[in-house]
Amino acid sequence: MTALSADNSTGSENCLSHLAPLEAVLFDVDGTLCDSDPLHHEAFREMLLEIGFNDGVPITEEFFIDNIAGKHNTDIAMALFPDDLPRGMKFTEEKEALFRRLAKEKLKPVNGLYKLTKWVEERGLKRAAVTNAPKENAEVLISLLGLKEFFHVVIQGTDCEHPKPHPDPYLKALEILQVSKDHTFICEDSVSGITAGVAAGMPVIGVTTRNPEHILMKAKPTLLIKDYEDPKLWAALEKLDEAGASD
């Protein structure tokens, strides 16, 4: 699969056509359904300041992207508290509680999300949310976005032996939905998530919600889009529809 720059759409219109007839679409949650990373960043920044992490200097956006965004909480705890994992796990649990409070006040969907979910529903496709987020977080975000009835299943990283960036969560979603990887694509916003999807053998649409394009390109997405209003996405979906109609 060839990664295509968000600024270079050459050949991108046909990048999903080989999936026809499409059976399913799989979505990450944080940063993919909603612009939640700023709220995670805010929660981590606030709580790390309280304990004097990094000599009291607030964590930067770059630090957040490199060490936190898209990662499972166990990996985050190990990165932040390498000498005291139990403390790290307790810290991440408290941080998630703060995040949920912030989400209830400030959460916003990624631009164009409901246009895409309508497209998926109109075609009767199967769909799953596949996330490294804790179960309570995923449930809160999906509920706040009004998508509880949209998803047929929600897969957490903890449901699998290995979370993202391993392919296990996406492979589990295929198994539960009883669909083929050859007729399914994924929407993701992080290197960890894109890596997992590519490793599972599916095309991944990378959404540059917060993570920089040059960072996401390292994971080799099939296509990068700004959001779900991006004309490149809809050109690709139109070609996919045409391919499905001709089968």
Average pLDDT, the chain: 93
Alpha carbon distances (Å) from 33 to 143, 155, 164: 12, 15, 17
Q: DSSP label at 22?
A: P
pLDDT tens digits in sequence order for the chain, 247 residues long = 445 544 444 468 999 999 999 999 999 999 999 999 899 999 999 999 999 999 999 999 889 988 998 888 999 999 999 999 999 999 999 999 999 999 999 999 999 999 999 999 999 999 999 999 989 999 999 999 999 999 999 999 888 999 999 999 999 999 999 999 999 999 999 999 999 999 999 999 999 998 889 999 999 999 999 999 999 999 999 999 999 998 7
Helix (H), strand (E) counts: the chain: 10, 6
Superfamily of domain 12-35+108-246: HAD superfamily/HAD-like (3.40.50.1000)
Nearest of 178, 226, 229, 221 to residue 16 by alpha carbon:
221
* CA-based nearest residue to 28, from 123, 151, 112: 151
Domain ranges of the chain: 12-35+108-246, 37-106
- 199-235 pLDDT, tens per residue? 999 999 999 998 889 999 999 999 999 999 999 999 9
pTM: 0.87
- Active site residues per annotation: 28, 30
pLDDT score recorded for residue 150: 98
Q: Which residues contact 172 (CB under 8 A, 6 or more apart)?
A: 155, 159, 160
Alpha helix positions (H), the chain:
37-50, 61-67, 73-80, 85-106, 113-122, 135-144, 168-177, 191-199, 213-217, 231-246
The angle that helices 85-106 and 135-144 make with each other, rounded to 10 degrees, is: 10
* Helix, coil or strand: residue 203: coil
